[in-house]
């Protein structure tokens, strides 16, 4: 879910962003203090839901909502205000919701659970295992700081959600278990790369262990294993960059 938050009061803006993030940890939340900046942002970005303060210097939230509705009739507009007399404006705009300040997590949660236009729960993360291993966020290739981070992710995908110990990962990636510091660096790069894209809760992190949460990603290999083989064709190649993937490739070959 992509969420835009607008409030010209900095503390109120920070509070609303925090409330949304607590309700939707995986959401990509972007905050603004000026309506014009929201319009500039949406020239090159999309938005599923917009929390708009009504009383604004310059263009107010109602006028901004009219423009947003013209661009995307299915955008969920949730107005926030300190005054109840604006409920009529929200009704006329066919807004998804209306929050009377002070804003709390409970109020935000109620609105997000009752959106006028429900958001399809589709992962932003796409994993390609057949052929070479590739990973995309919002259809764009992911660039990690270290090349080995990509291989770490590939191994977690191959293990299909199983918690992998640090020793197990090191043996697969380095053929020995003497790379503790480097592995910690790779783990941080992996988590930070997804977090920077607003994607939290993708990994199961425990002391000395790490795993992918499988239902957080779209993956051709997972679809194949679940019997959905249309559009997920296996042609004898699986994560071709990595020698440790040969065992899984053999299993796939035998299951054809």
pLDDT tens digits for range 95-107? 999 999 999 999 9
Taking the C-alpha atoms of residue 2 and residue 29, their distance in angstroms, rounded to an integer, is: 6
Is residue 175 scored above 90 in pLDDT? no
**Taking residues 11-39, what's their average pLDDT?**
91
Is residue 84 scored above 80 in pLDDT? no
Q: Domain 125-255: give its CATH code.
A: 1.10.10.10
Tokens read off for 247: 């065992």
- Which pLDDT does position 90 carry in this prediction? 65
CA angle (126, 131, 136) in 5-degree steps: 20
pTM of the model: 0.56
208: number of Cβ within 10 Å: 10
Q: How many CA atoms lie within 13 A of 34 on its CB side?
A: 5
Is residue 29 scored above 60 in pLDDT? yes
**Taking residues 177-194, what's their average pLDDT?**
94
Report the DSSP beta bridge partners of residue 49.
Answer: 3, 76
For the segment 119-158, what is each residue's pLDDT rounded down to a tens digit?
A: 765 678 999 999 999 999 988 999 999 999 999 999 999 9
How are beta strands 140-141 and 218-219 bridged, if at all? Answer: unpaired
Label each residue of the chain as H, E or C.
Answer: CEEEEECCCHHHHHHHHHHHHHHCCCCEEEEECCHHHHHHHHCCCCCCEEEEECCCCCCCHHHHHHHHHHHCCCCEEEEEECCHHHHHHHHHCCCCEEEECCCCHHHHHHHHCCCCCCCCCCCCEEEECECCCEEEECCEECCCCCHHHHHHHHHHHHCCCCCEEHHHHHHHHHCCCCCHHHHHHHHHHHHHHHHCCCCCCCEEEECCEEEECHHHCEEHHHHHHCCCCCCCCCCCCECCCCHHHHHHHHHHHHHC
Where are the chain's structural domains? 2-112, 125-255
Tokens read off for 120: 């399809």
Taking the C-alpha atoms of residue 249 and residue 235, their distance in angstroms, rounded to an integer, is: 10
- Which pLDDT does position 86 carry in this prediction? 63
Q: With pLDDT > 90 as the criterion, what percentage of the chain qualifies?
A: 67
In the numeric block, the tokens 């009739």 are attached to: 73
- Which pLDDT does position 231 carry in this prediction? 56
The mean of the pLDDT values for the chain is 90
**Taking residues 47-75, what's their average pLDDT?**
92
Confidence of residue 187 (pLDDT cuts 50, 70, 90): very high
- Which pLDDT does position 233 carry in this prediction? 76
Is residue 210 scored above 60 in pLDDT? yes
For the segment 154-170, what is each residue's pLDDT rounded down to a tens digit?
A: 999 999 999 999 999 99
Is residue 92 scored above 70 in pLDDT? yes
**Taking residues 213-241, what's their average pLDDT?**
84
Confidence of residue 50 (pLDDT cuts 50, 70, 90): very high
Tokens read off for 165: 């110990």
Confidence of residue 20 (pLDDT cuts 50, 70, 90): very high
Superfamily of domain 2-112: Response regulator (3.40.50.2300)
């Amino acid at each position: 879910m992509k969420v835009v938050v607008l409030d010209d009061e900095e503390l109120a803006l920070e509070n609303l962003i925090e409330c949304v993030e607590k309700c939707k940890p995986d959401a990509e939340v972007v905050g603004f203090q000026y309506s014009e900046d929201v319009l500039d942002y949406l020239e090159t970005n999309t938005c599923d839901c917009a929390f708009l303060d009504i009383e604004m210097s310059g263009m107010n939230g109602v006028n901004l909502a009219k423009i947003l509705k013209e661009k995307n009739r299915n955008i969920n507009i949730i107005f926030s205000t300190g005054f109840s007399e604006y409920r009529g404006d929200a009704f006329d705009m066919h807004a998804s919701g209306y929050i009377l300040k002070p804003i709390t997590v409970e109020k935000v949660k109620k609105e997000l659970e009752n959106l006028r236009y429900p958001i399809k729960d589709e992962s932003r993360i796409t994993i390609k295992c057949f052929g070479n291993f590739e990973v995309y966020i919002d259809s764009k290739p992911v660039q990690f700081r270290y090349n080995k981070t990509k291989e770490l992710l590939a191994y977690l995908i191959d293990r299909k959600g199983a918690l992998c110990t640090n020793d197990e990962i090191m043996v697969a990636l380095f053929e020995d278990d003497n790379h503790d510091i480097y592995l910690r660096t790779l783990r941080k790069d992996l988590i930070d790369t997804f977090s920077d894209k607003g994607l939290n809760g993708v990994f199961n992190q425990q002391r000395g262990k790490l795993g992918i949460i499988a239902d957080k990603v779209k993956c051709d290999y997972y679809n194949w294993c679940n019997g959905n083989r249309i559009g997920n064709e296996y042609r004898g190649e699986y994560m071709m960059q990595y020698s440790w993937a040969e065992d899984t490739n053999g299993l796939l070959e035998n299951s054809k």
